[in-house]
């Protein structure tokens, strides 16, 4: 089955999964979310694979939520918002639960859901010119469905530093927080990722999968109850006055009412 919003290519046991909506900076639409979940399920079932490289086409890795998706959420009723939130949450869980090693290759930037995708990966290599941010609170929203994965990756202390302020930060800061494993010059990004891929082509594939499963069993557990709770919290936020004002301001390209500058 071919994907419309993704490219998936397998070369010598390595799956190269590329977000492919470059005209909108690979923003996460409902279709892309669904296709990412399908891709994760397909990759998990392929026992010939050694690792996965997740990247983005065009100028940026992922800009976060799609504009049309946000417009639809404003008009949707609560059950529809719950279903949409669950779709995103289940996709993130499928990616996070892959037993295959997953390597993120980030250029340009990762925002909102793009940070969530990165935090579901085992290695995150980023060009040192990349920018990052959880910008949901500028819109009157919260980083709900991505929250468990970001918090698990960063820990409580670091997560508190970026969940609330919507500040954009550079790749060095992303590395110090724990989002990024290593930053390199843009012209070194491909070579750095290739070196990590080569490492996984020289280890026992089942042992690598089992080692990842062991680590995940020892770390923070992201349960179905937690996932459902984050979706409910997101729906609650969408129904608030701040989200309505924030999204309207964003779409109108004017400052929201709470902004001082």
What residue spans define the domains of the chain? 6-187
Question: Which letter, b or e, does each residue of 235-255 get, where b requires 16 or more Cβ atoms within 10 Å of its Cβ?
Answer: bebbeeeebeebbebbeeeee
Block mean pLDDT (10 aa), the chain, length 261: 93 98 97 98 96 98 90 87 94 97 98 98 98 96 96 96 97 98 98 98 96 92 95 92 91 91 71
Strand order in the sheet with 102-106: 6-11, 14-19, 51-56, 102-106, 123-127, 182-184
* Predicted TM-score of the model (pTM): 0.96
Spatial contact of 222 and 149, defined as CB atoms under 8 Å apart: yes
Phi, psi for 246 (deg, rounded to 5): -65, -45
Which element (helix H / strand E) includes 240? none
Q: What does the H/E/C string look like for 4-39?
A: CCEEEEEECCEEEEEECCHHHCCCECHHHHHHHHHH
Q: In Å, how far from its chain's centre is CA 205?
A: 25
Distance CA 55, CA 43 (A): 15
Fold of 6-187: 2-enoyl-CoA Hydratase; Chain A, domain 1 (3.90.226)
Kindly write down the DSSP assignment for every residue of 85-117, as one continuous string. HHHHHHHHHHHHT-SS-EEEEE-SEEETHHHHH
Q: Which residues contact 78 (CB under 8 A, 6 or more apart)?
A: 235, 239
């Amino acid at each position: 089955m071919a994907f419309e919003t993704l490219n998936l290519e397998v070369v010598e046991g390595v799956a190269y999964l590329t977000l492919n909506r470059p005209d909108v900076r690979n923003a996460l639409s409902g279709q892309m979310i669904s296709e990412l979940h399908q891709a994760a399920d397909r990759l998990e079932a392929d026992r010939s694979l050694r690792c996965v490289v997740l990247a983005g086409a065009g100028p940026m890795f992922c800009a976060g939520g799609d504009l049309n998706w946000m417009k639809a959420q404003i008009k949707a009723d609560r059950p529809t918002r719950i279903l949409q939130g669950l779709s995103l949450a289940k996709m993130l869980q499928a990616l996070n639960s892959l037993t295959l090693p997953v390597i993120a290759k980030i250029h340009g930037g990762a925002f909102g859901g793009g940070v969530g995708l990165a935090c579901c990966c085992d290695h995150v290599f980023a060009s040192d010119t990349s920018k990052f941010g959880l910008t949901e609170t500028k819109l009157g929203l919260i980083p709900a469905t991505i929250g468990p994965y970001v918090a698990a990756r960063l820990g409580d202390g670091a997560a508190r530093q970026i969940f609330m302020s919507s500040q954009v930060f550079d790749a060095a800061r992303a590395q110090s927080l724990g989002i990024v494993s290593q930053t390199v010059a843009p012209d070194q990004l491909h070579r750095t990722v290739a070196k990590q891929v080569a490492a996984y082509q020289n280890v026992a594939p089942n042992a690598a999968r089992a080692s990842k499963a062991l680590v995940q069993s020892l770390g923070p557990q992201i349960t179905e109850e937690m996932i459902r709770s984050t979706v409910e919290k997101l729906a609650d936020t969408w129904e608030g006055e701040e989200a309505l004002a924030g999204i309207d301001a964003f779409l109108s390209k004017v400052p929201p009412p709470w902004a001082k500058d």
